[in-house]
Structure 1
Amino acid sequence: MPDPEPRPRASLATTGVAFVLVWCTGYIAGTLMVAHAAPLTALVWRFGLAALAFGVLATLARAEWGDGPARVHSAITGVLMLALQFGGVYLAFAWGAGAGVAALVIGTMPLLVAALAVAGGDERLRASQWAGMALGLAGVALVVADRIDGHTPWPAWLALLAGLVGISVGTLYQKRHASRIDLRAGLALQNAAATLLLLPGAWWLEGLRYAHAAEFYLPMLWTVVVNSLGGFALLFVLIRRGAATGVAALFFLMPPVTAVFAVWILGEHFTALKAAGFALAALGVWLATRQARVPA
């Protein structure tokens, strides 16, 4: 009788590939969107419309919205993974951080998630998985090496560190507390919480400033429909079905894949160094995830 494991493992791998491809388009769309809007305002648009869309989907499907604690857990996850992560990254861009610095800081997320998961007793990692994490980070460093400068101001560093903490702690928090609610209802609550948290800053500090132009609306709609509805739905499924460190390791592939997209869309160059970084990151992800167990 054949081993029943390959099918769920293959399914999870396919979901992981789809997640990486969808998620990476968000960096391109986000860059285009923030060029025509204040950073927090752009996020209020994105998260607010995503909350509305997920809320409509949950209502039409008559999904269960969970009890009080489940809703609170979803809201906290939204504050961490959406408001804190993206708020930190977008503010860092506005305060002078380059894309390479941001990618390198956020690229340490899998290592931080792994350390927190092990320290909290959630998971145990083998030596080969730690080696994969190190190789993945080295691959990210090679990909973004030509985009790192020494002129990033300290407020931007603090914002990026806040974003790193948000996505790292949020990943573990969702795995532990917020994965039992309906996907549509949970994501509606997460996006609504992020919107409410960022709205005062977008209003009072930025005056809800954005350009009434297609250059803003088109990438903004892409981030809502493709990245929020598609990307976060895939991430929700991955976190629910897989180990948190295995899911986090996929983020090593984000800078290399985004670099490939940037060649096609933004006209950037894909160098031999980036190609080597891509290969190294892919090897690291393979080592970090190949021994992860997938629930039946």
Structure 2
Amino acid sequence: MDIRAVGLGLAFALMWSSAFTSARIIVADATPLFALSLRYLVSGIIGVGIARALGQNWHLTPPQWRATIVFGILQNAVYLGLFFVAMQTIEASLAAIIASTMPLMVALAAWAFLGERISPLGVIGLIIGIAGVALIMGARLTDGLDYTGVAICFIGVLALTIATLTVKGASAGGNLLMVVGLQMLVGCVALTIATVLFESPAVTPSWPLAAAFIYTCLVPGLTATWVWFMLVGRIGATRAATFHFLNPFFGVVIAALLLGEKLGPRDILGVTIIAAGILAVQISRQRKA
């Protein structure tokens, strides 16, 4: 893994982790599905516009179209839509921790449904990761934990897990930024339908809302997705996923610094355990790749 790949991985992990804090700020002043659909409209138009200016087109390969549609629906609409809804009642740090279990769920699902063998290191990683999540949940049981919000987040992670296991080839065939932009627009369409069906849009204008919305559109929304596909194209999905072990750390630290969310000793220990579990799982899969 070269220096550029390391830089891309660190940048992705930091941007991805910050999205939960900015989302928490957004849903404090706007209904979640409406806000997220508008975010994807803005990000998608910007992404497609920049891609066209760079000479890219929407003549994508079949795997790219499949990735665009599946990820646009499962990742952008279902996964993030559910997380935005849940973050009305749960903290950004907890949402980031739950989202960070995605590599563990991918490894477990690949073993259960695709027949992928798990090495002893991978098994240890899964056990450690699950133990870390249980430790954090146990620490927050006395703090009025919203179980519905937690359940919604885990359903969202399941949707992202399915997308990760079923779609390949998004970074092959060129037009990478166009793929990213079109994914955003697919998510916008799906979330607009969900908004009409399930929500009465409402916005309370504020400077924190405006700043968080602009940041979310440009950084976690557009730039982080583009960086992720660049990283996957450079070192492969298995090695790229190793950087997910940083997400629990970044997620809770950013939420604590910007939102003042509580970070107790058991939270720190749990995050460390989860990160170790994710790293062990990814190293075990990397050795087989």
Structure 1 length as normaliser, TM-score?
Answer: 0.81
Return 5+ residue gaps in structure 2 as ranges: none
C-alpha separation in 1, matches of 2:253 and 2:94? 18
Matched, 1:192 2:190: no
Residue 245 (structure 1) shift: 5.2
Contact 1:256 1:274 in 2 (8 A): no
Matched, 1:50 2:43: yes
What residue is the counterpart of 2:222 in the other structure? 229
> Is the Cα contact below 8 Å between 1:101 and 1:148 reproduced in 2?
no
- Which residue pairs with 1:89 in the alignment? 83
Deviates more, 1:279-288 or 1:108-117: 279-288
Alignment partner, residue 258 of structure 2:
265
- Tell me, in whole angstroms, the C-alpha distance in 2 between the residues paired with 1:157 and 1:255: 16
Check the 8 A contact 2:105/2:161 in 1, yes or no: yes
Structure-1 residue corresponding to 2:74: 80
Q: CA deviation at 1:233?
A: 1.5
Shift of 1:89: 1.5
Q: Does 1:41 align with 2:27?
A: no
Shift of 1:57: 1.2
Residue 111 (structure 1) shift: 2.1
Structure 1 residue 229 displacement after superposition? 1.8
CA contact (8 A) 2:97 2:271 kept: no
Maintained 8 Å contact 1:25/1:227: yes
- 1:178 alignment counterpart: 170
Q: Which amino acid aligns with 1:88?
A: L
Name which of structure 1's ranges 69-78 and 52-61 shifts more when overlaid on structure 2. Answer: 69-78
Distance (Å, rounded) in 2 between the aligned partners of 1:173 and 1:68: 16
**Residue 122 and residue 233 in structure 1: after superposition, are their counterparts in 2 closer, same or farther (change >3 A)?**
farther
CA contact (8 A) 1:183 1:233 kept: yes
Q: Deviations over 1:175-208 (max 9, x none)?
A: x243324221111111000000111332454343
Distance 1:219 1:121, change over 3 A: same
SS class of match (1:66): coil
Aligned mates of 2:186, 2:197 — CA distance in 1:
18
Structure 2 residue 123 is the aligned partner of structure 1 residue 130: yes
Partner of 1:165: 158
The equivalent of 1:3 in structure 2 is: none
Q: State the one-letter code of the partner of 2:207.
A: A
The CA deviation at 1:235 is 2.2
CA distance in 1, matches of 2:230, 2:116: 19
Partner secondary structure for residue 63 of structure 1: coil
Corresponding residue for residue 280 of structure 2 = 287
> Could you tell which deviates more after superposition, 135-144 or 266-275?
135-144
Normalised by the length of structure 2, the TM-score is: 0.83
CA displacement, residues 70-124 of structure 1 (integer Å, 9 cap, x when unaligned):
3243122111111010111122334x45657645643432222113334565965
- Are positions 1:214 and 2:214 aligned together? no
* CA distance, structure 2, for counterparts of residue 267 and residue 63 of structure 1: 42
> SS of 1:211's equivalent?
coil
Q: Is the 8 A contact 2:103 2:282 kept in 1?
A: no
Structure-2 change in CA distance of 1:129 and 1:15 (3 Å): farther
| 2: CA distance, partners of 1:29 / 1:145 | 26
Alpha-carbon distance change, 113 to 202 in structure 1, aligned in 2, over 3 angstroms: same
Partners of 1:283 and 1:161 lie apart in 2 by 20
Residue in 2 aligned with 1:255? Answer: 248
Q: Pick closer, same or farther for the CA change 1:287–1:28 going to 2, 3 Å.
A: same
Aligned twin of 1:110: 103
More divergent stretch after superposition (28-37 vs 120-129): 120-129
